[in-house]
Amino acid sequence: MKRTVFFGALTVASIAAGASAAATLDDVKARGKLNCGVTTGLVGFAAPDANGKWEGFDVDFCRAVAAAVLGDANAVEFVPTTGKTRFTALASGEVDMLARNTTWTLSRDVDLKFDFIGVNYYDGQGFLVSKEMGVSSAKDLDGATVCIQTGTTTELNLADFFRANNISYEPVPIETNAEGQQQYLAGACDTYTTDASGLAATRATFENPSDHVVLPEIISKEPLGPLVRHGDNEWGDIVRWTLNALISAEELGITSANIGELSAAAGDNPEINRMLGTEGNLGEMLGLDADWAKRAIMAGGNYGEVFAKNIGESTPIALARGLNAQWKDGGLIYSPPFR
Amino acid sequence: MTTTTDPHQGQFRLSMLLYDSRYRSMTIQIVALIGFLMLIGWLLSNTAQNLADLGKEPGFSFMFEPAGYDINQRLLDYNSQDSHLRASLMGLLNTLLVAAMGCIAATVIGVIVGVLRLSPNWIVARLSAVYVEGFRNVPVLLWIVFIMAVLIETLPQPSAFRKGEASMSLWDTVAITNRGVYIPEPLFSRSLGDIHLLGSSALRFDVSLDLLALLAVLIAGILTSVLIKRRADVIQEATGERPRTWHLRVGAIVVPFILVLAVLGFYLGYPELKGFNFKGGTHLRNSLIALWLALSLYTGAFIAEIVRSGILAVSKGQTEAAGALGMRPNRTMSLVVLPQALRVIIPPLISNYLNLTKNSSLAIAVGYMDITGTLGGITMNQTGRELETVLLLMLVYLTISLTISAVMNWYNESVKLKER
Amino acid sequence: MSDMSYVRSEMLPERAPPASQIGFVGWIRANLFNGVGNSILTILSLIFLWYILSALLPWIFAPTWNSGSLNECREIFGADGGHGAACWGVIRERWVQLLFGFYPEAERWRPIVGFGLLFVALIPVLFNMISRRMNWVLLLAVLGLAGLYLGGALGIIAGLLLLGAAGFVGFKAFTTSKEDRAAEIESGAKRLPNPFIFSAIYPFIAPWLLWGGSIWLPVGAALGFVVGYFAYRFLAPVVGSLAGLIIAVLAALIWWLLLMAPMVDQLDALFTIGEGPGAENLLALEPVESRNFGGFMLSITIGVVAIACSLPIGVVLALGRQSDLLIVKALCVGFIEFIRGVPLITLLFVASTLLNIFLPPGTNFDIILRVLIMVTLFAAAYMAEVVRGGLAALPKGQYEAADALGLDYWKAQRLIIMPQALKISIPGIVSTFIGVFKDTVLVSIIGLLDPLGLSNAIRADQDWNGVVWELYGFIAFMFFVFCFSMSRYSMYLERRLRTDHS
């Protein structure tokens, strides 16, 4: 329920009575909008265009969830969050889910009371250096000045890496990716370290991308995934299986182009039928209708399509699938079966 | 206000709490107090309830766990295995450092520009006005990021020195790069070493014996010089003639100081390009310089206005009266105009120092690791202890502010016009 | 014998001063080169100016207005591009976003009209030399222009009517002199209503314009004040002023908390056509959530709301600080010193991370509303000090005169003290507003998309990745225009107030 109360003209306070522990699904349905936390701006993952429309890899996942739950891929309010504010925004119920390249760690899962519902991007922390420095390994970086984004796990990894290898460095903390890029390009730091995907995205926008390389060492595992609040398992299931639906869709060859045809009537493949609701009642089990997965996939395409559109090799960011290829192609992207 | 002087008749009635001016103020105060306590209680119970729902238990034990992150500018020794408490201490020292540097620079800039604004030279006065209005009317955060961007984009990077595209300034002693400025550092070849205080606790610090020795000699020299002046005063009282003492007084301070420096083997360590960066020397990082410059230029603009109005506030008659008494212009300035102008200038000046200190919390915009960047930034983010860290952060700033306010009040009290 | 002495019998004709003393040359000699020190200063200044301008002007006047991305700019300027000259395409493409954030395009007239009406509402407060009729001319003109801007048959007709009314009143105002008008009023001609009425209504209109929703909400909120006023009016003579005040506040609270919502629902139902999701409320604006606010609109909204809300709180705090009631005084001093002792950024951290924890479980304010609350508290502490300054500047005779007239505390404050104290405080209030307005850029640190936060989001767009100076320059310029004009106004006001009182 939403009731707007006026305390005089002094505070125009819309108090959305949002129970933080349970029934996120009901809240979202009553509100008619999904509140999705994204970054304040990271090339390829989430950024607003000139018309204020958000675009990117994480953004498309939010849209898929909105399409599955509400039937409208545009029924999303994007809430920009910083590294500092993201967890509070989720814990306080300001956002229903966070799709903001957040690393799945034990302490965040357990201590901060969140549920990571899966991994939508396998990442790792890398180093970007210019070719003319003649560095071929991160271990050659003794005494280097390192630009690093604060408020992330990367600064802890960095400290660990240099301590373990017993080499010195000078950290230059920066607040946003744009600043990191500026400092790196101007030579105020020798190397810029963050998630390798972010490095590739940043490098892609350079004037001469070929002058810069990402070093081979990946010093950490950074499984990035969407997360929801601890304790509301129904809602967590919906978000988890929306992600799985996108992944399975790619595996099963369901694309936004052929989905209309495939969902029109039950076909030969029982798993496709179950997923698209022409057979069985999986949607009902989730508390949604039968077409939920179809809508999610139609919102932005399957996992592969979303990847290709936002960060894939045809985009300026040109990320290879690598670890994020389907398991059949030697990657780690794997969805449990729809059964 | 109504006051009743005749003795009150009759018994105490409940309505008197509201209508009798003797009781009313008491009633209002008690109601206010109860209301306040209820508000606090309400907030506390909400907080307890919410924290319980989130499964968090408030406490400060996390401050003693290893911080895990590195800090580039540290005034005391620190590594990533030290506790969050020590990391916060590093931040606090950095805050105090930039605040102190900023206050000094802002005062210098403010006084110079304030005087220049009153200059008869049209172009100088105009330029000063443009500076003052330009800095006062644009948010300080914008200036901080802007100056940081200027430093990064316009200064040469260390590799330019290697390629010979840039060279060190001031006879190869200072390196100005876009990673900061490297200046020579004082070193001692026959150093006395350090004493380590407070063992290995989070508050441990080292005191350089060299510095202590120098300080001791300096203080002794100043005391001697004061003694010499006293003696000269006595002689002047007695004989009417003042002996020439300035060379003795300067010597008493300088000679022992230089001697101690020589004994300790004083020399300057110059920065040198080694590997990726300059090594040696003192490294003033870009973030410090940008923050320092922006804060002092911004606050300097306000101080310039204060100085200008302070000087204008001393009426012209004062100067003329001093002239009529036969005072020379510089004596007029130091004995008549300045003391009166300072009375107007100092209180707003100190409140500007306060603002500067508070504005230094914007350091996180350029990655300067002050207390907001360490305790209120990385520590808060890594531990997820928002309540505790923000409370601590507020407490720290409040302490700094109240200390500065106390100084201000003390000064105001001491220069108040004593009306007789 | 002739008279040896010679006395000229008529004045010599005045001669022009030497060429070096007058005109341009003379001015330069007198102002720039009247001494060695001054000459050196002048030359240094000129070199400095040349250095700055020769770097800045070519950069600013770059023909890049139509470029669509940073790469296009680089093509225009070759390898050096992007730094050697400005890439203004980013401003052309994003200036609307920098001004309005994500406010829906079709609804942008609302903040514009709200901003225009803000000036109209402030005019009787700020420029009391403008005549009553001119105030109404301005109000009608702004409303008329809004109608035209909206377009549509209704909008144009209404706009033309309003403009016509403005023209009619304006024409009469111009053609009748002040004296004639005074005589007219003397002889019983009807005066136009006091424009302060509009200033009082504005705080209810503005939120409705910005946030949208049913018109009955602001009407209901305003009715609460009416209820309170009448309760006070009728009860105060019976039960005394303090009890009357308490009852009035309670009555208003009961109205707002219990009675208003049903009334709003009933009235909404009355004006709603259709059923279910397709229903259309005739008297409602499209609701806009505050997280769609951004850019300068967000800065202005935060600044104006914080100052408007902090004024009453500040007055109460200032009175509390001056009062003889020890506990009340201690509470007020504690609050003021606490807020003034911590940086705004920590209060914003409270807004972004803690405020929800302090409120009852389940409450969830929008982040912008939380920021509004904290910035209001922040501004209130500074406002309290400004008002205290105003109170202290009043001569003691005013207080004593009020006592001598037998006015009680509240009446004395309302009729004698506050009108004067607030009037002297206006320059201070304007400076506080400038400060708060500038401080609103801090919200970018907690992830709100104010101009500075938006500049980061814009740089995350692939087309504009790497653009720095143009965005900072544009934002700084806009802030300068706003703040400089306000500070000039406040100085003008200070001068006028000084002459008023001497």
Residue C457's pLDDT is 83
Which residues from A are below 8 Å from C453, CB to CB?
A: 40, 80
Q: Residues in chain C, how many?
A: 502
C361 with A178: Cβ contact below 8 A: no
Residue A6: predicted pLDDT: 33
Q: How confident is the model at residue B297 (pLDDT cuts 50, 70, 90)?
A: very high
Q: In this complex, how many residue pairs, one in chain A and one in chain C, have their CB atoms less than 8 Å apart?
A: 147
A74 touches chain C (CB under 8 A): no
From the list A193, A247, A214, the residue with the least C-alpha distance to A317 is A214
Long-range Cβ pairs for the range A46-51 (8 Å, 24+): A46/A78, A46/A99, A46/A100, A46/C460, A47/C457, A47/C460, A47/C461, A48/A78, A48/C97, A48/C102, A48/C457, A48/C461, A49/C461, A50/C93, A50/C94, A50/C97, A50/C461, A51/C105
Query: Does B207 score more than 60 pLDDT?
Result: yes
What is the fold of A125-220? Answer: D-Maltodextrin-Binding Protein; domain 2 (3.40.190)
Tokens 């206050």, residue located: B103
Q: In terms of DSSP bridges, do strands A34-39 and A76-81 run parallel, antiparallel, or are they unpaired?
A: parallel
Q: Are A46 and C447 in contact (CB under 8 A)?
A: no
Distance from the B398 Cα atom to the nearest Cα atom in chain C, whole angstroms: 5
Share of residues in chain A with pLDDT > 70 (%): 93
pTM above 0.90, yes or no: no
**Which contiguous run of DSSP H or E holds residue A228?**
strand A222-229
Residue C51 CA to residue C43 CA, distance in Å, equals 12
Q: Which CATH superfamily is domain A24-122+224-329 in?
A: Periplasmic binding protein-like II (3.40.190.10)
Q: Take residue A51 and report the two structure tokens written for it.
A: 């018309």
Burial class (CB in 10 A: 0-12, 13-18, 19+), C307: buried
C407 phi, psi to nearest 5 deg: -75, 145
| B136: closest CA of chain C, how far (Å) | 8
Give the ipTM of the model, two decimals please.
0.86
Instruction: Give B19's pLDDT tier (boundaries 50, 70, 90).
Output: low
The mean pLDDT value of chain B amounts to 86
Q: How far apart are CA C298 and CA C100, in angstroms?
A: 8
Residue A78, CA distances (Å) to A35, A176, C22, C349 in order: 6, 18, 67, 21
Task: Report which DSSP code applies to C57.
Answer: H
Phi, psi values for residue C406, rounded to 5°: 80, 20
Which residues in chain B have their CB less than 8 angstroms from residue A85's CB? none
The DSSP letter of residue A224 is E
CA-atom Rg of chain C in angstroms? 30
Q: Contact C328/B51, CB-based, under 8 Å?
A: no
As a whole number of angstroms, the distance between CA A120 and CA B193 comes to: 56
Chains that touch B (3 or more CB pairs under 8 A): A, C
User: Which C residues in the span 327-386 are in contact with A, Cβ-Cβ below 8 Å?
Assistant: 352-353, 356-357, 361-367, 369, 372-373
Structure tokens at C15: 């001669």
**Residues in chain B within 8 Å Cβ distance of A190:** 276-277
Number of neighbouring beta carbons within 10 Å of residue C253: 15
Phi-psi region at C296: left, alpha or beta (left = phi > 0; alpha = psi -120 to 50) = alpha
> With 80 as the cut, is the pLDDT of residue B397 above it?
yes
Residue intervals in chain A for CATH 3.40.190.10:
24-122+224-329, 125-220
Mean pLDDT of B346-356: 89
Residue B417 has what pLDDT?
Answer: 65
Q: In 10 A of CB B286, how many CB atoms?
A: 24
Kindly determine whether residue C438 and residue B138, on different chains, have CB atoms separated by under 8 Å.
Answer: yes
Say if B21 is an interface residue toward chain C (CB within 8 Å). Answer: no
CB atoms near residue B87 (< 10 Å): 28
Beta strands A169-174; A144-149: pairing state: parallel
pLDDT tens figures, A55-91: 899 999 999 999 999 999 999 989 888 877 888 888 8
Interface of C with A in 194-253 (CB under 8 A): 203-204, 207, 211, 213, 217-218, 220-222, 224-225
CB of A209 within 8 Å of any CB in chain C? no
Determine, for residues B157 and A84 on separate chains, whether the beta-carbon distance falls below 8 Å: no
Separation of alpha carbons A288 and A69, rounded Å: 7
Q: Are A188 and B157 within 8 A, CB to CB?
A: yes
pLDDT in tens, chain C (502 residues): 555 677 888 888 888 877 777 777 777 777 777 778 788 888 888 999 999 888 888 888 877 788 888 878 877 776 554 456 788 888 888 888 888 888 888 888 888 888 888 887 887 776 666 667 777 787 788 778 877 777 777 778 888 888 888 888 888 777 777 777 777 777 777 666 777 778 888 888 888 888 888 888 888 888 888 888 888 888 877 777 677 778 888 888 888 888 888 888 777 777 776 665 556 666 677 888 877 888 999 999 999 999 889 999 999 999 998 888 888 899 999 999 999 999 999 999 999 888 888 888 777 778 888 899 999 999 999 999 999 988 888 888 888 898 899 888 878 888 888 888 888 888 888 889 999 999 999 998 888 888 988 888 888 777 787 788 888 999 999 999 999 998 888 888 888 776 554 4
Amino acid at B44: L
Q: What is the mean pLDDT of residues A291-308?
A: 91
Q: Taking the CB of residue C217, how many other CB atoms lie within 10 A of it?
A: 25
- C249: Cα within 13 Å, side-chain hemisphere: 5
Inter-chain CB proximity C361 and B50 less than 8 Å: yes
What integer pLDDT is reported at residue C115 of this predicted model?
86
Give the distance from residue A22's alpha carbon to the nearest chain B alpha carbon, in angstroms.
Answer: 12
Structure tokens at A333: 């992207």
Alpha-carbon distance of C161 to C155, in angstroms, equals 10
Calculate mean pLDDT across residues B321-348: 85
Q: To 5 degrees, how large is the angle CA A128–CA A170–CA B155?
A: 80
The verdict on a CB contact (< 8 Å) between B276 and A91 is no
Instruction: Using CB atoms, pick whichever of C325, C338, C359 lies closest to residue B28.
Output: C325
Mutate which of A106, A135, A155, A168 to disrupt the B interface (most B C-beta within 10 Å)? A155
Tell me, what's the pLDDT at B161?
A: 84
Classify strands B277-279 and B205-208 as parallel, antiparallel or unpaired: unpaired
pLDDT, residue B380, reads 87
Task: Tell me what the mean pLDDT of segment A230-246 comes to.
Answer: 91
CA dihedral of C134, C135, C139, C144, whole degrees rounded to 10: 0
Angstrom distance (rounded) from CA A140 to CA C280: 67
pLDDT of residue C118: 86
Tens of pLDDT along A158-197?
999 999 999 889 889 887 777 888 889 888 889 999 888 8
Tokens of B244: 């020439």
Tokens encoding C458: 């814009």
